[in-house]
Structures are given as C-alpha cells and as structure tokens.
Amino acid sequence: MIELYYAPGTASLVVHWLLLDLGVPHQLRRLDLDAREHKQAAYLALNPAGVVPTLVIDGEAIFESAAIVLHLADRYPEAQLAPPPGSLERARYYQWIVHLANQLMPAFRRWFYPQEAADESAIDAARDAARDAIEAIWERIDAHLAKQGPYLLGSQPSAADFLLTMLMRWSRNMPRPATDWAHLGELALTMKARPSFTRLYEIEGLTEWR
C-alpha cells in the first residue's frame, strides 16, 4: 500500500501529481499545516524534519520530495520518466533534479520564510537576495531549454520536468514568475496540459495557475 502525507500546493504536489500520472493506486493523508499537524509526534516519527511530503510504501516512510520523485520514476519504468541507469542521459537527469532540489528549493525557502535566514532588520534584503537567486536559475534553465529543450532532457519529458513545473508554480505571485521566460513558459503549458494535472487540481482543490 502507498500512502502520501500531503498539504495542497506544497512540496508534496509533485509526488501527488506523479502518482496520478503514473496511475499508481494510493491513499491520501492530508495534513493541516495551520493546525501544525506536521509537527505532531506521530508524523515526526515518519518525517523527523516535520515537513511535507512523506510517502509511505508498505509501512516504510520516505521523505524529501526529490528522492521520492527519483524513486517513483524508477519503480514504474514503463512510463519512461527516467533514462536508463549508467547512461549519460541519466547523469543529466540527476544533474537537473539535484540542481532543482539543491539550489532552487532552498532559494524558495528563503523567499517564503525569510525570517529563517535573517533577523527583522534584514528581511527585505534576504528576500531580494532570494529573488535574485531564483531569477538567475530561471535564466540559466531557460537558456538551456532554448538550446536543448523543449524538456530538460530534450525531446522527451522526464520526472525532472514535473519537479521543475511544481517549482515554476511556486513563483506565480513573484514579481517575475518563471513563465515570463519564454521556454519555461512553453514547458509549463505542455506539462499543465497533461490530464493528470487537471485531476491533481480537482483533488487538491487548487485554482491558481491553471
């Protein structure tokens, strides 16, 4: 049995989306972040960092959205969302997933939670710096897509594009959203056209960035 602990629109979105896209039967366990359900002992036993998502497979908990994305793509190879292990394509796939998880996600954390990175007097500067970091990454990825797109790995979508699309969504209310960059905007449109994305929105009750 597969269970997903999630909260709508958060880092769990990419996992939920992949489960739907891959057609994997699963149970949803919704957490109320405002009620701090993700900080209660029962959940911390699954995810010691007290964040979403957590995927539980046959009683074994896995956390870190990027790790779960990598695992799901491998577990359901028929969907061809990950290149073969050992190939150069696979190295590029790791590169993009790690880049998104290691560079872009922490910059978003500093944008959404600047108080974690700076004291009160420096919050505006911390947010500005986070915005600069995020926009520099959009610039870099857009330039890559211009040369070697339309997907991160070229002509075929991979699980990395699902992660990228979720992160583009997070920028929707920023001064300059990711979709301002032409090739990122095209990739977002293509990924959002997948029927699984519509289903995801219905289930999570999302409306923005349709």
Ligand X SMILES: N[C@@H](CCC(=O)N[C@@H](CS)C(=O)NCC(=O)O)C(=O)O
Residues that bind ligand X (CB under 6 A): 10-11, 33, 38, 51-53, 63-66, 105
d(CA 59, CA 163): 25
Looking from the CA of 193 toward its CB, the CA atoms found within 13 Å total 7
Given a contact cutoff of 8 angstroms between Cβ atoms, the answer to whether 81 and 157 are in contact is: yes
Report the greatest alpha carbon distance in the chain: 52
Assigned token pair, 207 = 């409306």
CB atoms within 10 A of CB 189: 11
Of 20 and 105, which CB lies nearer to ligand X in the complex structure?
A: 105
- Identify the helix (H) or strand (E) that includes residue 91: helix 88-99
User: Which tokens go with 90?
Assistant: 């696979």
Backbone angles phi, psi at 4, to 5 degrees: -115, 120
State whether residue 67 is helix, strand or coil. Answer: helix
Among residues 112, 134, 114, the alpha carbon closest in space to that of 180 is found at: 134
Supply 131's token pair.
Answer: 């915005």
Q: How far apart are CA 136 and CA 138, in angstroms?
A: 6
